[in-house]
Chain A
Amino acid sequence: MSSRSFAIGLGSTPKRVLPGFGLSLGISLTFVSLMLLLPMTGLFGQLAGLSLAEYWAIITNERVVASYVVTIGAAAVAAIVNAAFGLLLAWVLVRYTFPGKRLLDALMDLPFALPTAVAGITLATLYSSNGWMGQLLEPLGLQVAYTWVGIALAMSFTSIPFVVRTVQPVLEDMPNEMDEAALTLGASDFTGFRRVILPHLWPALVTGTGLAFVRSLGEFGAIIFIAGNMPYETEITALMIFVRLQEYDYAGASAIASVVLFVSLALLLAINIWQGRFIKRLHGGHG
């Protein structure tokens, strides 16, 4: 029994033993209020100036709707590709030893460490028609730069660590006995993976892929250079906000931003609930 539960068990009101409650609460609340919550009032203030009909007209504008389709479509493709690629990378990094493994592991964090604008101009240069990759792919009929494929590629690049780093620890903690049991019972590698390992990894894989998807929806710097930014075709929603701002249409920018904000917060909440439910199941309801 830990000392904490002992102390709580004795007294009727838990007493705060450690100092610094007031100070740390003060700093945290001040910061959260001033830096995170106060700025949101600006957005709501701007939205309050719009009638419902005006708001609806802005967010269902044809060009804006086209940008939702491009953003969500490319993010979905990027998330699915990343689920497969991230699972492969996590598997190889956990299950095998090979020369260069540490380097590969370190490389996984590159998309988080590399500034998005740097990733953006690099991918655009690599996949343009005279870039290293573009030269190879274009004769095959695959044009990446300035198409939605480029947008999906940039999204995939910036969000791959989410999948790898979410799946990796779960795979590491998986007991070897599960593999052994499956193989002893005569399962093939493929059946064993599908019936034993995948169900175990599934919650982590869905969480990682979901986080990657949310990140892709909001990504800006890595995408705008490779996207081409053609209205109705390769324009992402984050860029639409930017375009409205450059036109000094603050109300329009705020309305579109509120849609992006709502969708990403709702998805994040859904991921948290999904993750919470799974953790409870694993720890027998004590999570």
Chain B
Amino acid sequence: MQRIGDGVAVRRLLIGAAVVLAALFLLLPLVAIFAQAFARGIDVFWANVTNHYTLAAIQLTLFIAVLTIPVCLVFGVALAWLVTRFRFPGRRILQTLIDIPFAVSPVVAGLVYLLLYGRTGWLGSWLDGHDIQLMFAWPGILLVTIFVTCPFVARELIPLMQAQGSREEEAAVTLGAPGWTIFRRVTLPNIRWALLYGVILTNARAVGEFGAVSVVSGAIRGQTNTLPLHLEQLYQDYNTVGAFASASLLALIALLTLVAKAGLEWRAARREVHP
């Protein structure tokens, strides 16, 4: 059947334009990251990555991600269960509220946390009186990271759980299964891949967050520097190769995220063909 734009000339022109533009605009930067990181050889790259401050930044970044993921996971699953399995007043508002972190500029996100928990904030001054400092320390970084990443798991789960409906779970209730068993044996197998992808997205954003973290971190080298803040400092100090060595580690996580997404989509497509 003939469709619009199926002529050979049009097709070649459009594919060519899309591929060339995407290569220049998206692929070239990716190549440039690794080219810059290895510009002075693998030894210099390795020395940069194993540098004391870089290792400290990697450690803090992973620590924050490891703490962020379970919080987002519990919240995401609870919220998705709530809005897809029950009708109640305020359901729509709740669904809109969780999109706030996506709409808010990262710098504004960092700022609101700084205002609340910083020394001048009403909660921060109380905490300060009890010798608890959240801002310019890792708890502040953790809080803003949770803020910017919390919608991902819920956003992956809600459309899927909505589409699947609750008939299987209702059947399990009729058969007398307790709540936790229903979730573990019926719901979880249905949503596990979306859940996994939500976690992967949460992780990608958690290790890479820059704007919000730079407001609340204080960027003390070796102490409150995450990897993105560390590479900024190196770049501002004209240590381009060092900055790109750190950048390449983050780019690698981004690449793994893309591979995981492609893999999960391929799985889903295969299941549609052979259910």
Contact = CB atoms under 8 A, between A and B. Distances in A.
Nearest to A242: B107
Contacts of A91: 5, 14, 18
Contact of B19 (A40, A100, A106): A100
A70 interface: no
Given A125-B32, A221-B106, A257-B111, A189 B4 contact: yes
Interface string A6-43: 00000000101111110111011001100111111111
A261 B108 contact: yes
A260 B105 contact: yes
A81 B250 CA distance: 28
Interface residues of B, number: 101
Contacts of B182: 18-19
B5 A118 contact: no
B106 A261 contact: no
Contacts of B204: 112-113
Interface centre among A2, A35, A120, A192 (most CB of B within 10 A): A35
Interface string A219-230: 111000100000
B186 to A, nearest CB: 10
A35 B150 contact: yes
B94 A28 contact: yes
B17 A88 contact: yes
Contacts of A23: 78
Interface string B1-22: 1111111001100110111011
Interface stretch (B43-51, B52-60, B254-262): B254-262
B65 interface: no
B205 to A, nearest CB: 8
A92 B15 contact: yes
Nearest to A29: B94
Nearest to B260: A113
Interface string A95-129: 11010101011111111111111111111011000
B210 A117 contact: yes
Contacts of B243: 121
A106 B260 CA distance: 10
Given A24-B82, A133-B28, A96 B11 contact: yes
A69 interface: no
Interface in A260-281: 260-261, 264-265, 268, 272
Nearest to B243: A121
B63 interface: no
Nearest to A220: B211
Contacts of A241: 105, 107-108, 111
B66 interface: no
Interface in B235-268: 235, 240, 243-244, 247, 250-251, 254-255, 257-259, 261-262
B107 A238 contact: yes
A73 interface: no
Interface stretch (A54-62, A143-151, A177-185): A177-185
A43 B113 CA distance: 9
Contacts of A202: none
A232 to B, nearest CB: 20
Interface in B176-224: 178-179, 182-183, 204, 207-211, 214-215
A32 B1 contact: no
Interface residues of A, number: 98
A159 interface: no
A31 B150 contact: yes
A28 B28 contact: no
B27 interface: yes
Contact of B108 (A106, A218, A272): A218
A113 B167 contact: no
B87 interface: yes
B69 interface: no
A93 B6 CA distance: 13
B3 A20 contact: no
B27 A107 contact: yes
Interface in B65-120: 74-75, 78-79, 81-82, 85-88, 94, 96-101, 103-108, 111-118, 120
A108 to B, nearest CB: 8
A110 B104 contact: no
Contacts of A14: 87
Interface of B: 1-7, 10-11, 14-15, 17-19, 21-22, 24-30, 32-33, 36, 74-75, 78-79, 81-82, 85-88, 94, 96-101, 103-108, 111-118, 120-123, 143, 146-147, 150, 165-167, 169-170, 173, 178-179, 182-183, 204, 207-211, 214-215, 228-229, 231-232, 235, 240, 243-244, 247, 250-251, 254-255, 257-259, 261-262
Question: Ordered nearest first, which 6 A-B pairs have the shortest CB separation?
Answer: A115-B208, A218-B105, A42-B116, A42-B115, A19-B179, A221-B210
Given A95-B3, A261-B105, 8 more contacts: A17-B170, A18-B179, A27-B75, A88-B14, A96-B11, A106-B259, A114-B208, A239-B107
